[in-house]
Amino acid sequence: MTRTGIDTCEANAQIGGSLSHPTALTVARDKSSFRTTTQAGRLLRLTGMTTSIASRVASHSVKRLFQSEEARDRDREKLLRHIGKEVASTLGEMKGAVMKVGQIASQMQDLLPPEIADALSVLQKASAPMPFSVIRRQIRRELGDEPEVLFAHFEEKPFAAASIGQVHRATTLEGQEVVVKVQYPAVKESIDSDMRHLRRILRLGGLLKVEEATLDAIFLEIRTQLEEELDYRQEAEHLRQFRAFHADDPWLVIPDVVEALSSDKVLTLTYEPGDDLKAVRDDPAYDQALRNRLGERLFDALARQIFMLRTVHCDPHPGNFAYRRDGTIVMYDFGAIKRIPEEDLDALRRLTRAAYEEDYRALEQVLRDLGIRKAGGPEVSEDFYVGWADLLRPPFDSEPFDFAASRLHLKLARKTRETSWKYLESFQPSARTLLVDRVLGGHYWTLVNLGVIASFRPHLEDIMARSEQ
């Protein structure tokens, strides 16, 4: 199977045998998705969900007054599972910012209870497409004419449908193969309302595990990212920036912008095919040496973006990357990027070196500087840091690490369960590292699926040293 040139965060449709994937969804779901893009429809749906959850939380609060501690814990777990399913079900029917924030929230394991984060993970799957009549109107409004006039060929059937837009293949009048990313109407206008409702839902019953000021910063970070992601002219600028930065890396391909067929809400890019992760796993041509090379190149590209460009592609969804048998990596979708201030970059360097050198006093200080270690929170023993560092260091150390055999995710989940309540008042997520953490966590799974065996510490130390020159 080949990846065709652009994918948004949650779109995982594929070319070839899977081309019909979005249209296999029912017409009824299409209509439901369309209704929930209107302001009135969205407000009604979100308000209904909030009221339902608030009622359940209130009932639980009364009931727990008459329960044993064991029964309280059991009922709270049941409540959280129900809330997670209800939120995921509702957001899964909707387009726009609220679904996008739900997807991001599903990756924030240290912000949400695991029952809710697990339920929200379904939002990472492909979304039902919009009717082509909506796409046609949007193209006419943005580019001034019908798709049939602007393009020699335009496929009505999308191969990727996501929360804020969908992607169609096309051929320009000059015969160039392209992909056309079209934003759904009224998405920008719904951001504030959507985020207010989702924040209120997540705050019900004390579901969030962070201080109010930290939550403000996290939602501001997400909102800023969303605003950039909804500005396709800004995404075009990102593409040009990253293409220039990687100009001397022939093994990294980034699509080019077709300016004459792009606008604020329509983005036309050159078609850049490649194999998805499933194809890589199934194709014997991708032997161990080639997979290792792909993993090393991916790590090198992202590390240099973080420490040298100070701007990183921060959407690690596997649909945004493709691979070729000659060792080339194709990188798609530059709507979500993270600019890293110098002070945060310095903190990342200090944190990494403290972990390598097992200097846990210095490590804790960096965590305090980043706001991860709560000011005034209960003291934390050095053994706590040793345990976490021993888990997290091996994938980035000098000895080759076998990602295919990795059980790091299982060990981290177990460690979190064992320590989360004991140190609940000592730590919290930080808006300053939120998106970088998303990059690292997402690409851990990419390396696992590629089956990479590599030692990344020499690469990382070299890149950090060069970033300080």
For the annotated catalytic residues, the residue numbers are 315
Gap between the Cα atoms of 93 and 111, Å rounded: 24
Judge contact between 119 and 202, C-beta under 8 A: no
**Pick from 295, 291, 283, 233: which is nearest to 259 by CA?**
233
Judge contact between 401 and 313, C-beta under 8 A: no
Q: Which phi and psi (to 5°) does residue 258 adopt?
A: -95, 95
Task: Please count the CA atoms within 13 angstroms of the CA of 325 that sit on its side-chain side.
Answer: 8
Compute the 3-state secondary structure of the chain and give helix, strand, coil in percent, each to the nearest 5. Answer: 55, 10, 30
Q: Which phi and psi (to 5°) does residue 183 adopt?
A: -80, 140
Sign for the pseudo-dihedral over CA of 195, 200, 206, 210: positive
Gap between the Cα atoms of 400 and 398, Å rounded: 6
Task: Please count the CA atoms within 13 angstroms of the CA of 322 that sit on its side-chain side.
Answer: 24
